Amino acid sequence: MHTLTEAERKRLATEEREWIFTFGFGHSHPETGESLGRKYVRVRGTCATSRVEMERRFGRAWAFQYPTEEMAGVTKYGLSEYRGPDGSTLSQP
């Protein structure tokens, strides 16, 4: 797994990009109650604005924020992307 350098951290803090947010086993959707364990969502924005969007949509019921699928362990841990009731993803708020 790749560890970010200080320069990469600084660049990512202000770069508009897609971020990966993961959920833990005890997390559930705040409105539907659906289990979100072993799932992730994509949110576009800066490091800070994407976190704000996650909190708007899920409250604080999520685990971690990552700059890439690889760093989030999507393939390694067999995570699946969360899809809303209409089948949509959250990559574009």
Q: Is residue 93's pLDDT more than 50?
A: no
pLDDT classification of 83: cutoffs 50, 70, 90: confident
Residue 77 located in a structural domain: yes
> Per-residue pLDDT tens for 33-63?
899 999 999 999 999 999 999 999 899 989 9
Give me the residues paired with residue 20 across strands: 42, 66
- Say if residues 88 and 55 touch (Cβ distance below 8 Å): no
- Has residue 73 been placed in a domain? yes
**Which residue segment(s) compose the domain that 63 sits in?**
6-81
- Report how many domains make up the chain: 1
- The reply to whether 91 falls in a domain is no
pTM of the model: 0.83
Which of 14-18, 46-50, 68-72 bottoms out in mean pLDDT, i.e. has the lowest?
A: 14-18
pLDDT above 70 (res 66): yes
Contacts of 23 (CB under 8 A, 6+ apart): 36, 37, 38, 39, 40, 61, 62, 63, 82
Hey, is 41 helix, strand or coil?
Answer: strand
Looking at the domain assignment, is residue 1 inside a domain? no
Question: Is residue 36 a part of any domain in this protein?
Answer: yes
